Amino acid sequence: MSHYDGISPARSDAGSSDRGRGPLSGRVALVTGAGPGLGGAIAQALAQAGADIAICDIDEARMVTTRSAVEAAGARCWATRCDVADSAAVKRMFDEVAERFGSLHILVNNASLVPSRPQDAERRNRHYAYVSTPMPRQSLGFTSQISDEEWLRWWAVNVHGVFYCTREALRLMEPQRYGRIINIASIAGISASSVHSPHYSATKGAVISFTKAVAAEVAGANILVNALAPGGVHTPEFGAYLERIGEEERNRLWQLVPMGRLGTMEEYAATVVHLAGEHYMVGQVISPNGGMVI
């Protein structure tokens, strides 16, 4: 296994040496949860910046489009099925990345359960109506209805998965004294914006605290760990949700966003590309959110 010494910004010889263009040329990046949506956009943006890419998702079919976009950008791409909540599967994935690419320089912990089921949409709509329409104050009754199974399922993916992937990444990054880890958190972890999904909020708050602790631990090895805490992301799934809810419900949502729109996947991905490169940020939480939290 080849290692990058990490002492200077010089590039390693891992990856596609013939491209030689872009700020991440010579780097190898792993993006989890890289099917359609933000993970796929991040993988494509990292490839366009010069990195070679490994991607994973629990649904192999969802990665086909991402892999095609990465390869169209001139990058090597390896795709594999991996449930990040399974520590043994995560270890196998990182071993394979090291074998195929020689090393790993960038990890984007994007895999996450998000509130996208019909019952989640119903709770979200009730929350938006509550905060945007004059009505008597009351409990919305969300937390008291969450089962043990549901609570633990969200922690397994959103928190345990981030830990498992970070642990394996550090085992590669620490000897080479170079690495960049970007954890995709959420505005829900720094605010009450996701009152409708307290289990999701709790997991994203945990990711932010984990980010800060690990960042302080490994910065001396030139491994920079930061978090991106998006506000609304205009993914295809969220776009479909906006179409379903109708104009009145959409207007309630826009009342909560000073910019009056969601962030695009490309806008968020560009911030990840910056965090994956050369900078001076350690343990920071960057939250593009259109003014929802200032």
Q: Establish if 18 belongs to a structural domain.
A: no
Query: What's at 146, amino acid-wise?
Result: I
Q: Establish if 15 belongs to a structural domain.
A: no
Residues annotated as catalytic (active site), given as ranges: 200
Confidence (pLDDT) at 6: 36
Q: Establish if 7 belongs to a structural domain.
A: no
Q: Establish if 14 belongs to a structural domain.
A: no
Tell which phi-psi region holds residue 225, choosing left (phi > 0), alpha (psi between -120 and 50) or beta: beta
Question: Does residue 164 contact residue 109 with C-beta atoms inside 8 Å?
Answer: no
Q: Establish if 59 belongs to a structural domain.
A: yes
Range of the domain at 67: 28-286
Taken as a whole, the chain contains a residue count of 294
Q: Comparing C-alpha atoms, which of 83, 81, 85, 82 is closest to residue 152? A: 85
Q: What is the pTM of this model?
A: 0.89
Task: Count structural domains, the chain.
Answer: 1
Confidence (pLDDT) at 20: 60
Q: Establish if 217 belongs to a structural domain.
A: yes
The whole-chain average pLDDT of the chain stands at: 90
Confidence (pLDDT) at 16: 40
Q: Establish if 20 belongs to a structural domain.
A: no
The token duo for 251 is 């207007």
Q: Establish if 230 belongs to a structural domain.
A: yes
Per-residue model confidence as pLDDT tens digits over 200-257: 999 999 999 999 999 999 999 999 999 999 998 888 877 887 888 888 888 878 888 9
Per-residue model confidence as pLDDT tens digits over 151-210: 999 999 999 999 999 999 999 999 999 999 999 999 999 998 888 999 999 999 999 999
